[in-house]
Amino acid sequence: MSFQRIAILGCGLIGGSFALALKKRGFAGEIVGCDRADVLEKAKARGAIDAGTSELSEAVANADLVYLATPVVTILDLLPQVAKAAKPGALITDAGSTKVRICRLAKEVLPDNVSFLGGHPMAGREVGGIENADPDLFVGKKWGLIQDDRRGAEDAEKEFAELVEKLGAQPVWMDAETHDWAVALVSHLPQLVSTALASTTWDETDEDGLPLSLAGPGYRDLTRLAASPYELWRDICLTNGDNIARALDRLEQRLAHIRGLLRSRDLAEEFEKAQQTCAMLKRGGRE
Amino acid sequence: MSFQRIAILGCGLIGGSFALALKKRGFAGEIVGCDRADVLEKAKARGAIDAGTSELSEAVANADLVYLATPVVTILDLLPQVAKAAKPGALITDAGSTKVRICRLAKEVLPDNVSFLGGHPMAGREVGGIENADPDLFVGKKWGLIQDDRRGAEDAEKEFAELVEKLGAQPVWMDAETHDWAVALVSHLPQLVSTALASTTWDETDEDGLPLSLAGPGYRDLTRLAASPYELWRDICLTNGDNIARALDRLEQRLAHIRGLLRSRDLAEEFEKAQQTCAMLKRGGRE
């Protein structure tokens, strides 16, 4: 493998899991973490990184692969610094949950002699931090990859896609716009629906705990994501607002449609479509 | 226990699980099932029932406890027949998912010498049938009980509540109106939201399988219920339509509210309420 030195910027759940996954699968090169000193200490203690620094330029300087694993807005902040520090021939990739703004900025600021491959491992959890990092976090998960449309990056991109497979994930190639609309529907919308359902129930719950005390496994399934803190979602809502608004609007219309059909046999059609979705998930999913 | 002969009308998931749960916990009396012949055969083969008949009056005639475990509209159809066949002193209870119409009809048609205790074990699954019946289906689940407001039923009701506890469930006493609004929020709304999310995604999914092919564990949590067939929900939507429409309307408003806050710090408040809901569920839940 030509990636001998890997810099991981942000050693939380995703960055830490990426490092642990590499180590577990026999990566023999050097992993340098970049984060706050206390996070670096924990990452070292977990055996995720070989060295750590809070200086971005120091971490990036000799890296063949730079992995940006912070929230989206921080990635946007760091990219210009990475552009200055990256060595010629390096591949820059990231784990940002939205891709249009990141890929656009990368094109603007990165020099021609480094490549950028937008990435999104679909492996978020409702808890973050190096404490929850897991070498098998990516196993069976999809990993969105956004091809750089400039020439010359193909080899490094191909190698990174192979690495993704080695970590147990499945690369899915697409463009940034397709990605952001797709995740608005299958990731951001479910989060906000879960939040909305839980906050609606909260406002209706009385001193006796009703209706919440009657909640069964179905309600629990639907509100598991609702435990996610706002901080994890702030950047996503900020950088994919238009797509999310459109997805929310579609769902509101669908709910209103269902509301009008409660006493009609036509409601069966909505259930049938939903069942087809579940069947397709079952066929296509690797989980 | 004074329930020596128990008639179970409808030997599917709930009726079958009730029978299996009784047997597993040492019930020494007789259990008579009432259903189609092929279902009765399976119920016998699984050891759920001692005898079976497709004649309701035959099943009910000598029963101390009559358990109606069919869909809601069928319960409404059967109650007048049960009223004619039940022996004096019998306790009639049910497993219907909505309670206002059932309890009202029971009051109208049942003679004074039998008692009616509305019941709702919160233990539905997305699959039905005797094949999926489970003696531990009720363990750790809530079991809504609607007190009969006529005098004289207290002893039998108390005994049934003790039986519910013996099966591992937790009785929750309430009135029928409170029940139906509560389940609209924590059971019927989650189902329809799950259905709506899945059917919305279905309409957006293209030939390549996007966006569905990017779905992760969060989307799967939110759409697990969406596999439920319409037939399981038809009666619920028919008999609790007003409450469900109100619950849907509240959620639609909440989603529109969130849509307006996507780029605002005020969105944090929705996440905080949702997190409080999850924390309360964790504290109060026995699952």
User: What CATH number is attached to the domain comprising A76?
Assistant: 3.40.50.720
Name the strands in the sheet holding B5-9, side by side, starting at the edge strand that comes first in the sequence.
B51-53, B30-34, B5-9, B65-68, B91-94, B115-121, B142-146, B170-174
Residue of A nearest to B257 (CA): A196
Average pLDDT over residues A119-127: 82
pLDDT at A1 over 80: no
How close does chain B come to A210, measured CA to CA in Å? Answer: 7
A185 and A153 inside one domain: no
Q: Mean of the per-residue pLDDT values for chain A? A: 94
Please tell me the predicted confidence (pLDDT) of residue B153.
73
Rg of chain A in Å (alpha carbons):
21
Contacts of A220 in chain B (CB under 8 A): 281, 285, 287
Any residues with CB less than 8 A from the CB of B243 and at least 6 apart, and which?
B180, B181, B184, B188
The ranges of chain B with pLDDT < 50 are: 285-287
Asked whether residue B234 falls in the same domain as residue B144, the answer is no
Same domain, A149 and A190: no
Are residue A40 and residue A149 in the same domain, yes or no? yes
DSSP code of A112? T
Do residues B167 and B190 both lie within one domain? no
Shared domain for A126 and A59, answered yes or no, is: yes
Q: Indicate whether A40 and A91 sit together in one domain.
A: yes
The last residue of a domain, from among A143, A174, A205? A174
Is the model's pLDDT at A207 over the cut of 90?
A: no
In this prediction, residue B154 carries a pLDDT of 83
Do B69 and B147 lie in one domain? The reply is yes
Give the pLDDT confidence score for residue A194 in this predicted structure: 98
Look at B216 and A122 and tell me if their CB atoms are within 8 Å. yes
CB atoms within 10 A of CB A59: 25
Burial-class residue A115 by CB neighbours within 10 Å (0-12, 13-18, 19+): buried
* Minimum-distance CB partner of B204 among A185, A218, A234: A185
Record the tokens describing residue B104, joined without a space. Answer: 């009202």
pLDDT of residue B1: 66
Same domain, residue pair A136 and A223: no
CB-nearest to A255 from B186, B201, B252 is B252
ipTM surpasses 0.90? no
Per-residue pLDDT, averaged over A165-190, amounts to: 96
* Closest residue in chain B to residue A284, using alpha carbons only: B213
> Given this model, what pLDDT does residue A132 score?
95
Q: What is the CATH number of the domain that holds A192?
A: 1.10.3660.10
Q: How many domains does chain A have?
A: 2
User: How confident is the model over A98-110, as pLDDT tens digits?
Assistant: 999 999 999 999 9
Nearest Cα residue in chain B from A282: B220
Q: Domain of A221?
A: 179-284
Residue A74, CA distances (Å) to A24, A70, A90, A111, A125 in order: 28, 6, 20, 20, 19
> Rounded to a whole number, what is the distance in Å from the CA of A182 to chain B's nearest CA?
4
* Residues B21 and B160 both lie in one domain: yes
Last residue of a domain, one of A174, A194, A216: A174
Omega of the bond leading into B135 within 30 degrees of 0 (cis) = no
B163 and B207 part of one domain: no
Same domain (yes/no): B10, B147: yes
pLDDT of residue B285: 44
Q: Do B142 and A226 touch (CB under 8 A)?
A: no
Taking an 8 Å cut-off on Cβ atoms, the answer to whether A193 and B195 are in contact is no
Which domain-ending residue is among B145, B174, B203?
B174
Q: Do A224 and B228 touch, CB atoms closer than 8 A?
A: no
- CA–CA min distance B204, chain A (Å): 9
**A258 closest CB neighbour out of B196, B212, B224:** B196
Q: Give phi and psi for A96, each to the nearest 5.
A: -65, 140
What are φ and ψ of residue B18, in 5° steps?
-60, -45
Work out whether the CA dihedral B57, B63, B64, B66 comes out positive or negative.
Answer: negative
